[in-house]
Amino acid sequence: MNLFILNEKEINEKIAREILDLVKDKPSCVLGLATGSSPLGVYEELAILSKKENISFKDVTTFNLDEYVGLNPSHNQSYRYFMNDKLFSHIDIPIQNTNVPDGINYQDSMDYYDQKIALKGGIDIQLLGIGSNGHIAFNEPGTSCDSFTHVVDLKESTIKDNARFFDSINDVPRKAITMGLASIMQAKKIILIAKGKNKALAIRRLFTEGIDISLPASILKKHDNVDIYCDEEAASLLKGDRAC
Ligand code: F6R
């Protein structure tokens, strides 16, 4: 795993540049996308730069990691809504090229999401955030390394972390559909973004401990093409003692 400790602006610019270079080199590339606060700046940068540099996303296909079970795509906290609002409506990607697991008819996504990714040739770059408990996508501590797209019960810590986006903690869905750890590991390249102090412990564990299902992100150590971007706060507990 390669570690980059940069400020927020540098993180956004560097990752957006890498994605745009991929789109230029391979216009029909496949992007794996995340929601949440971590990739927001990257999406803003992608929207600005793709217009400025006239880079088209018309042949790109995207697959999002996850969706809340029970939220309609039109719900303003659904991940489909988030992606349309924060990225898809700002670039020229045809909406039919964008895939988000279905939080209502989730059986279909459970059965076919990984197949759909494979049929497109697999994910070229997978963007990830990390939960304060070390989850990636909604693969909570204890998730099997062999998991593909599946429905999960969200842990209390995740519900608390995500309550900031809802009117009340009681409105946060208790279940989600998520790509599994095995689904994520099939991506050709993985870029994980960690910003803020509440990620510091998970990042410390990621770089100082071995692979353990209590920290789902630790499976990334088995992948040979992973870049981890941290801001100073997320890297604050590393103290230079890294074991990648
Ligand atoms: C979102 C996702 C989650 C988030 C993680 C961090 O699609 O898969 O794993 O990446 O919960 O969330 P933020 O970025 O809001 O801190």
What is residue 243's predicted lDDT score, i.e. its pLDDT? 46
Give, in degrees to the nearest 5, the angle at Cα 213 between 212 and 218. 55
Of all protein residues, the one whose alpha carbon is nearest to atom 4 of ligand 1 is 129
pLDDT class for 244, splitting at 50, 70, 90? very low
pLDDT (tens digit, 9 = 90+) per residue, 143-180? 999 999 999 999 998 899 899 889 999 999 999 999 99
Residue 88: CA count within 13 A, CB half-sphere: 24
DSSP secondary structure letter of residue 240: T
**Is any ligand 1 atom within 6 A of the Cβ of residue 36?**
yes
> What is the CATH architecture of 2-230?
3-Layer(aba) Sandwich (3.40)
CB 49 within 8 A of CB 144: no
pLDDT (tens digit, 9 = 90+) per residue, 2-14? 999 999 999 999 9
Residue among 12, 64, 99, 133 flagged as catalytic: 133
Residue among 45, 67, 140, 231 flagged as catalytic: 140
Asked if residue 225 has pLDDT above 70, the reply is yes
Task: With H, G, I as helix, E, B as strand and everything else as coil, classify residue 205.
Answer: helix
User: Average pLDDT for residues 197-225, to the nearest whole number?
Assistant: 97
Q: What is the 3-state secondary structure (H, E, C) of 100-112?
A: CCCCCCHHHHHHH
Ligand 1 center from residue 138 Cα (angstroms):
8
What is residue 137's predicted lDDT score, i.e. its pLDDT? 97
pLDDT class for 210, splitting at 50, 70, 90? very high
What is residue 240's predicted lDDT score, i.e. its pLDDT? 65
Asked if residue 242 has pLDDT above 90, the reply is no
Q: What angle, rounded to 10 degrees, do the helices at 40-52 and 8-25 form? A: 50
User: Average pLDDT for residues 174-199, to the nearest whole number?
Assistant: 98
Asked if residue 122 has pLDDT above 50, the reply is yes
pLDDT (tens digit, 9 = 90+) per residue, 37-71? 999 999 999 999 999 999 999 999 999 999 999 99
User: Average pLDDT for residues 22-43, to the nearest whole number?
Assistant: 98
Q: Whole-angstrom Cα distance, residue 22 to residue 140? A: 30
For residue 223, the Cα-to-chain-centroid distance in whole angstroms is 16
pLDDT class for 239, splitting at 50, 70, 90? confident
**Is any ligand 1 atom within 6 A of the Cβ of residue 41?**
no
Active site residue 170: no
Q: Whole-angstrom Cα distance, residue 50 to residue 200? A: 32
Q: Whole-angstrom Cα distance, residue 109 to residue 60? A: 20
Asked if residue 92 has pLDDT above 90, the reply is yes
Ligand 1 center from residue 57 Cα (angstroms):
24
Paired with 5 in beta bridges are 230
User: Average pLDDT for residues 188-204, to the nearest whole number?
Assistant: 98
User: Average pLDDT for residues 72-84, to the nearest whole number?
Assistant: 96
